[in-house]
Homo-oligomer: A and B are copies of this chain.
Amino acid sequence: MLRVGINGFGTIGKRVADAVRAQPDMTVAGVAKRTPDYEAEIARDRGYSLFVAGEDTRPFTSADIDVAGRVCHLVDESDVVVDATPGGVGASNRSLYEEFETPAVFQGGEDASVAPVSFNARANYDEAVGADSVRVVSCNTTGLSRLLAPIDDRFGIEKVRATLVRRGGDPSQTGRGPINDTLPDPVSIPSHHGPDIQTVFPDLDIDTMGMKVPATLMHIHAVNLTLETTPTAGAVRNLLAAENRLLLVPERLGIDGAGKLKEFTRDAGRPRGDIWENCIWAESITVEPTTGGRGDCYLFQAIHQEADVVPESIDAIRAITGIAGKETSIRRTNDALGVGSGLLGIDAKSDVSTHDAASDD
């Protein structure tokens, strides 16, 4: 059993910890936190050994929360560490992981230079094998990578143009905005997402435009892919339906946005209502012939920013420690968490075939 330490127990860290515990080949060595807040109570409830991220353990002891030591002890005791500290903090922890020669998985809030490989399981698992550290790309980049990899493999992508309409903040981020506004964010083009995708697909031609809106649940991507060929929309749907971290949302479910998607996954009993998969509206997948025999493919997808990097973080652990190859790791992660299964998996796939037979062009 691989002992995994998780440094940071916020939105991502607590989900990664629960996901590690669900795996058959790894265990939670402990989690590190800076403050004894409500999430520390969750760590205690789960029975995770709690390490203190700062120098001072007194705030924890005076809150009557047992601590197992400081974060350096956690790093020392772990076979691998997942850094889930706030964006930019991870880079400052790098020397700590190097000091104890503990391989590290960083998150996408860090600059790409934090690790030799920017990682997405579907797109470039093998590049991370044997690396001493890896960076799981951000939620938006993960969502785009999963979508682009199979389409590029099958049809060839000439160019990607994507507008990323991002939630202003997570439900717990009460200090964020906007309220009643729609922001180009950044105003300049491209947004950082295009270059970030190129850390995974170095040769891809992609332009991204970012926006922020007064919503907390999910990001919504309006995606255009100019393909080297002109497949039918049905062929694209079938290709995507066969991917285990893409979920085609069938029209008959009446799901019009992130609210109903999240309601559905909460009804389905998923932990925290998490949606690990990209949710692609099947009805939105459209292909139009354009000049030179190329095809313009369009679709909408929703990305659960709190959850989609969690299975990728688990796979990244296996990739850098070499305990499993790509297909084995992805299958093991999916089986342990229930990715691509449950209510959503069944309904979506059955509907896709019907939809194809009935309305494919």
Contacts and interface: CB of A to CB of B under 8 A. Distances in A.
A23 to B, nearest CB: 32
A291 B224 contact: no
* Chain A interface size, under 10 / 10 to 19 / 20 to 34 / 35 or more: 35 or more
Given A163-B222, A284-B188, A259 B209 contact: no
Interface stretch (A14-22, A41-49, A88-96, A212-220): A212-220
Contacts of A218: 182
A115 to B, nearest CB: 29
A220 B284 contact: no
A153 B23 CA distance: 61
A209 B178 contact: no
B281 A184 contact: yes
A184 B215 contact: no
A137 to B, nearest CB: 22
B300 A213 contact: no
A257 B165 contact: no
A350 interface: no
Given A214-B214, A288-B207, A298-B209, A257 B161 contact: no
Interface in A281-332: 281, 283-284, 286, 288, 290-291, 296, 298-300, 302
Interface of A: 158-159, 161, 163, 165, 167, 178, 180-185, 187-190, 205, 207, 209, 211, 213-220, 222, 224, 251, 256-259, 281, 283-284, 286, 288, 290-291, 296, 298-300, 302
Given A180-B259, A182-B257, 18 more contacts: A165-B165, A165-B211, A165-B213, A180-B214, A180-B215, A181-B215, A181-B257, A182-B213, A184-B300, A187-B256, A187-B284, A188-B286, A189-B298, A205-B290, A207-B298, A209-B222, A213-B214, A224-B224
